Amino acid sequence: MVRHAEVNVESKGYISYEVICYKYSISIPLLFSLISRSWRNIHTEREVSTSFLKAKDLFAQDAHSPSIVRVTSKVYRRVALYEPGEYVATLNYYNGTQTVANWLVRPLQQQKRAKSVILFICDGMTTNMITAARLIGHKSINGKYHKFPVLGHQMTHSLDSYITDSVNSASALYSEHRSTVNALGGVETIVEILTRIWGSAIGVVSTAFIADATPIALNGHTRLRSQYGNLIDQALRGVTNYTWTPFSGPDVFFGAGAKRFIAGSRSFQGKDYYNEFANSGYTVSLNKTSLLKVSNATKALGIFCTSNLQCGNKKPVLDLPGLKEMTLKAIDILYARGGDKGFFMMSEAASIDKHMHTLDYHRALGDLLELDDTVNATKLKLDQTLIIVTADHGHGFVVFGSADTKYLSSKFDDREKRNAIVEYTNSGLSQYTVTNASISYNTGANFPVNWNPRYTLAQDVGANPDHRENYRVHKSGPRLPATNVTGFSNDDYFICSSEAQGVHSLTDVPVFAMGPCQELFGGVYGNIDIFFNMANCLGLARPNNATGTTPSNGAQRGLRAGMLVFQMAIGWVALSI
């Protein structure tokens, strides 16, 4: 049920409208069963109202004339639909306006088919990036996940926008619950369900700071992703200020972001979270040497630098682990701790996205090659485990030719500079395979032998700030894509964002699958289907939503239970159940 009013602020006064008559109806194939079985003991919460200012469109934004938006929502808890089928919720308002929400209740799967799942998330990766990385590597051993027997594509849009952010998409992958920008964890996540039902081991690995969107969303619950300290506390203790699934922390927690662990203003409540984890039974590692010495029998925390880990084509830092070292060590620990109960691990190549944002394409492709090497090592280490390689969203990246960087730098006229970009026959072959004796790091079998050839890829993304491009590797460090030297407002030179960086794009991203249940991942589907497929494969569906260690008669937890929420703001209706 929704009551909504909007007030437009104009020079002549106020124009307002409000819903005064409203009703809720639900059309289902099995109405009697729904009423008799599913809607008993429903807990109805009080209506919650809020208001905020928002420009209705760009004209209102330019005129600095926002509207007051008032929203009232009502929540029904303990609602569960167990009869398989397609359900339709209809909301009628404004004396004739109608919004329809559709959702699907899936049949219960009767068999647990995989003991363990490894989910590789290549943050921001697209098929175009895979192609470019394969070209500059140009080695037969690259692209190991390309040979996975099943290839599918997932749609990445969110609840209220076709361009998603990372935390929103991660929440969909982990919990089948699409959200909105900056919000995550509206319902139980796959690791919380897995530990509740099977007691399996859980692993989180990322090259980002560990409170970043993709790693922290595995059991994080908040409306605001920037609550980093609180989310780290949730990772350790679960949700403690609300009735929720008990969670005592992952068995493996590897990544970066030490500034959120050191006692002080940036840590949650000023606590030392190295000590907090240690007091909860974790062995703490701060470098590669100590990581490799950790016993496989113990829970492990590894935080290896203050911000994000160096990876890809960056010069190696002494005693700093990469994605492969962290992932392989995590597998050893999870295999030992999970035992017959199995494990779930998410391993993220985070800097593909971070470098695409800053238009630092070579570093992004280097990160993708590092991920390729990690997947290959994982394949050799495990069998009878479902391995999935996918992304959370994409960027508008494309290669459209090659660039003669020497010719480009020699010209001063913009028209002449354009002639440095060549295509078709003139684009030639990859020069990244020609040895450059001046570069001696990250040039092995899994990487280019020359990161800085004269003839480079001519590459770009579709949404970026105004900038000049030389197509060279940025040797001094990750790229700063644009600097305002005009004296005018920054916003005049950035597209889509107030920040000097590129943004995400609308594109389906690839899904590679190998192992038990691999056939479920073919075709084109929504990102929430990744969750359902993993949950079915792990035997997480149950008809009575009970906890335990062994599903009765092989049945699994009902895959559509939770809360029913109706909320409308400026004509938008959100439904989750």
pLDDT tens-digit readout, 2-18: 333 333 333 333 222 23
Residue 521: the pLDDT is 98
**CA triplet 215, 326, 120: central angle to 5 degrees?**
50
Asked whether the beta carbons of 74 and 4 are under 8 A apart, the reply is no
**What domain range is 408 assigned to?**
403-492
Q: Which range is least confidently modeled, 167-181, 205-219, 277-291, 386-400? A: 167-181
Residue 63: the pLDDT is 93
- The answer to whether residue 186 scores a pLDDT higher than 90 is no
Model confidence band, residue 22 (pLDDT cutoffs 50, 70, 90) = very low
Question: Is residue 497 a part of any domain in this protein?
Answer: no
Output the DSSP codes for 450-498.
-SS-SEEEEEEESS--S--------TTSS-------SSS-GGGS-SSSS
Cα separation, 93 vs 3, whole angstroms: 9
Higher per-residue confidence, 411 vs 545: 411
Backbone angles phi, psi at 303, to 5 degrees: -125, 115
Question: Is residue 267 a part of any domain in this protein?
Answer: yes
Question: Is residue 111 a part of any domain in this protein?
Answer: no
What average pLDDT does range 15-34 have in this prediction?
36
List all residues 6 or more positions away from 69 whose beta carbon is below 8 Å from its beta carbon: 4, 6, 51, 52, 53, 54, 569, 570
What average pLDDT does range 416-421 have in this prediction?
91
What DSSP element (H or E) covers 376? helix 361-381
Backbone angles phi, psi at 188, to 5 degrees: -55, 145
Provide the 3-class DSSP secondary structure of residue 569.
strand
Are both 35 and 146 inside the same structural domain? no
Which among 479, 511, 494 is positioned nearest to 151, based on CA atoms? 511
Are both 152 and 261 inside the same structural domain? yes
What average pLDDT does range 52-57 have in this prediction?
91
What residue numbers does the annotated binding site for Mg(2+) cover?
123, 212, 214, 348
pTM summary value: 0.84
Question: Is residue 317 a part of any domain in this protein?
Answer: yes
What residue numbers does the annotated binding site for Zn(2+) cover?
123, 353, 357, 392-393, 504
Model confidence band, residue 351 (pLDDT cutoffs 50, 70, 90) = very high
Residue 179: the pLDDT is 84
Asked whether the beta carbons of 201 and 330 are under 8 A apart, the reply is no
What residue numbers does the annotated binding site cover?
123, 212, 214, 348, 353, 357, 392-393, 504
- Taking CA atoms, 383 is separated from 323, 371, 389, in Å, by 20, 19, 16
Strand partners, 201: 343
What average pLDDT does range 181-189 have in this prediction?
88
Question: Is residue 249 a part of any domain in this protein?
Answer: yes
Scored b (16 or more CB within 10 A) or e, 102-137 reads eeebbebbeebebbbbbbbbbbbbbbbbbebbbbbb
Model confidence band, residue 299 (pLDDT cutoffs 50, 70, 90) = very high
Q: Is 355 exposed, middle or buried (0-12, 13-18, 19+ CB in 10 A)?
A: buried
Cα separation, 5 vs 22, whole angstroms: 13
Are both 246 and 344 inside the same structural domain? yes
**Which of 116, 166, 267, 351 is flagged as catalytic?**
166
Cα separation, 437 vs 144, whole angstroms: 28
Helices (H) and strands (E) in the chain — how many of each?
A: 15, 25
Question: Is residue 498 a part of any domain in this protein?
Answer: no
Q: Which of 470, 492, 514 is the last residue of a domain?
A: 492
Asked whether the beta carbons of 26 and 87 are under 8 A apart, the reply is yes
Scored b (16 or more CB within 10 A) or e, 437-463 reads eebeebbeebbbbbbbbebbbbbbbeb
Question: Is residue 499 a part of any domain in this protein?
Answer: no
Which among 497, 502, 468, 470 is positioned nearest to 485, based on CA atoms? 468
Residue entry with tokens 């799967």: 109
Which among 159, 165, 253 is positioned nearest to 203, based on CA atoms? 253
Token pair belonging to 462: 């579709």
What average pLDDT does range 158-167 have in this prediction?
87
Q: Quote the number of domains for the chain.
A: 3
Strand partners, 296: none
Asked whether the beta carbons of 233 and 220 are under 8 A apart, the reply is no
Higher per-residue confidence, 60 vs 444: 60
Q: Is 527 exposed, middle or buried (0-12, 13-18, 19+ CB in 10 A)?
A: buried
- The answer to whether residue 393 scores a pLDDT higher than 50 is yes
Residue 82: the pLDDT is 74
What average pLDDT does range 337-344 have in this prediction?
95
Cα separation, 564 vs 76, whole angstroms: 5
What average pLDDT does range 533-552 have in this prediction?
72
**CA triplet 531, 537, 541: central angle to 5 degrees?**
75
Q: Which of 22-36, 398-412, 483-497, 544-558 has the highest mean pLDDT?
A: 398-412
Q: What is the mean pLDDT of the chain?
A: 80
Are both 453 and 537 inside the same structural domain? no
Q: Which range is least confidently modeled, 159-173, 441-455, 541-555? A: 541-555
Cα separation, 338 vs 194, whole angstroms: 12
What DSSP element (H or E) covers 345? strand 343-349
- The answer to whether residue 138 scores a pLDDT higher than 90 is no
pLDDT exceeding 90 applies to what percent of the chain? Answer: 45
pLDDT exceeding 70 applies to what percent of the chain? Answer: 79
Question: Is residue 251 a part of any domain in this protein?
Answer: yes
Are both 372 and 310 inside the same structural domain? yes
List all residues 6 or more positions away from 325 whose beta carbon is below 8 Å from its beta carbon: 288, 291, 292
CA 103 to chain centre: 22
Are both 98 and 231 inside the same structural domain? no
Residue 158: the pLDDT is 86
Are both 67 and 176 inside the same structural domain? no
Asked whether the beta carbons of 306 and 320 are under 8 A apart, the reply is no
Are both 408 and 276 inside the same structural domain? no
Which among 541, 531, 538 is positioned nearest to 515, based on CA atoms? 538
Residue 35: the pLDDT is 40
Q: Which of 492, 517, 537 is the last residue of a domain?
A: 492
166 labelled catalytic: yes
Give the domain CATH number at 151: 3.40.720.10
Are both 550 and 428 inside the same structural domain? no
Are both 239 and 128 inside the same structural domain? yes
Residue 491: the pLDDT is 56
What average pLDDT does range 96-116 have in this prediction?
82
Token pair belonging to 404: 């003669």
Higher per-residue confidence, 508 vs 494: 508
Model confidence band, residue 544 (pLDDT cutoffs 50, 70, 90) = low
Are both 132 and 216 inside the same structural domain? yes
Residue 563: the pLDDT is 35
Are both 200 and 260 inside the same structural domain? yes
Provide the 3-class DSSP secondary structure of residue 77.
strand
What average pLDDT does range 161-182 have in this prediction?
89
